[in-house]
């Protein structure tokens, strides 16, 4: 592969996989990624002695080496199958194959609300025992961006404003967002994160589809129609 793999426009790929093939990949890679999430927590929490740490590290290196035997050289990108099933499996907040992601499995209701119930383990800590303010921002950027897309106005984040009303605990949390209004190329979305006690963080995002993405979409429509 070449430098082309770092060109964002070339990482939006229609690979035309069937739904069955995509499901097979999800069943294979989902549990692998979930195991890595458990390992991340164990790495943070362990108090075993030096010998066990070194043995664990050797096992981890062996696993990574096996997986690297055949691998893409850069980011995962965004892929679409034959039926339109989108895979943003490398996404840092939502990616099925990304162990950094909690992951967020978004829901959409019929009233235009995008929401997700999720769990944050010890690897999302900022202030002692609490969710990192930047992790709340990561969750809200994803939920608000998905709400913009669900409303028919996809875009990249232009401005994101976060108001931290009270500390966000780790553990079971809820986030949601909905379209507020559209102003030309700007889509304004609002949302929040809440725990059982109510709202912890409020957010407003302005999402804008960049010109190159609008042009690429138009070009893609032209080519596939031709």
Please list every residue from 123 through 162 that binds a second copy, using CB under 8 A: 123-130, 132-135, 137-142, 145, 156-162
Q: Decide: is 82 part of the binding site for a second copy (CB under 8 A).
A: no
63 conformational bin, left if phi > 0, alpha if psi -120 to 50, beta if neither:
alpha
Chain residues 166-185 in contact with a second copy, contact rule CB under 8 A: 167, 169-171
Give φ, ψ of 210 to 5 degrees. -65, 155
Count how many Cα atoms sit within 13 Å of the Cα of residue 151 in the half-sphere of its side chain: 25
Which residue in this structure is represented by tokens 């998905």?
146
Based on CB atoms, which residue is closest to a second copy, 108 or 169? 169
Return the structure tokens found at 38.
């458990």
Q: Of 47, 111, 198, 211, which one interacts with a second copy (CB under 8 A)?
A: 47
Q: How far is the CB of 88 from a second copy (least distance, A)?
A: 8
- Tokens 């992601």 sit on residue: 101
The length of the chain in residues reads 226
User: Binding a second copy by CB under 8 A: which of 32, 86, 217, 218?
Assistant: 32
All residues at 6 or more sequence positions from 42 whose CB lies less than 8 Å from its CB, including other chains:
none
Single out the segment in contact with a second copy by CB under 8 A; choices: 14-22, 58-66, 110-118, 179-187. 58-66
Nearer CB in complex with a second copy: 57/226: 57
- Does the footprint of a second copy cover residue 196 (CB under 8 A)? no
Which of 17, 81, 95, 180 contacts a second copy by CB under 8 A?
95
Q: State the CB neighbour count (10 A cutoff) for residue 37.
A: 17
What the block records as the tokens of 224 is 């596939």
**Would you say 207 or 226 has its CB closer to a second copy?**
207
Phi, psi of 157 (to 5 degrees): -60, 125
Q: Indicate which single residue of 22, 77, 177, 180 sits in contact with a second copy (rule: CB under 8 A).
A: 77
């Amino acid at each position: 592969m070449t430098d082309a793999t770092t060109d964002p426009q070339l990482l939006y790929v229609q690979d035309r996989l069937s739904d069955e093939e995509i499901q097979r990949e999800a069943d294979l890679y989902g549990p692998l990624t979930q195991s890595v999430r458990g390992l991340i927590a164990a790495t943070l929490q362990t108090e075993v002695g030096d010998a066990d740490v070194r043995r664990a590290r050797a096992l981890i290196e062996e696993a990574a080496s096996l997986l690297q035997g055949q691998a893409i050289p850069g980011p995962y990108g965004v892929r679409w199958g034959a039926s339109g099933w989108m895979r943003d499996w490398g996404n840092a907040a939502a990616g099925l194959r990304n162990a950094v992601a909690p992951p967020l499995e978004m829901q959409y209701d019929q009233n235009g609300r995008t929401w997700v119930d999720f769990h944050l383990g010890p690897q999302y800590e900022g202030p002692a025992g609490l969710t990192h303010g930047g992790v709340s921002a990561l969750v809200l950027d994803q939920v608000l961006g998905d709400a913009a897309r669900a409303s028919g106005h996809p875009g990249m984040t232009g401005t994101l404003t976060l108001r931290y009303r009270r500390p966000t605990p780790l553990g079971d949390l809820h986030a949601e967002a909905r379209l507020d209004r559209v102003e030309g190329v700007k889509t304004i979305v609002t949302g929040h994160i809440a725990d059982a006690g109510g709202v912890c963080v409020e957010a407003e995002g302005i999402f804008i589809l960049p010109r190159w993405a609008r042009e690429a979409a138009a070009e893609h429509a032209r080519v596939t129609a031709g």
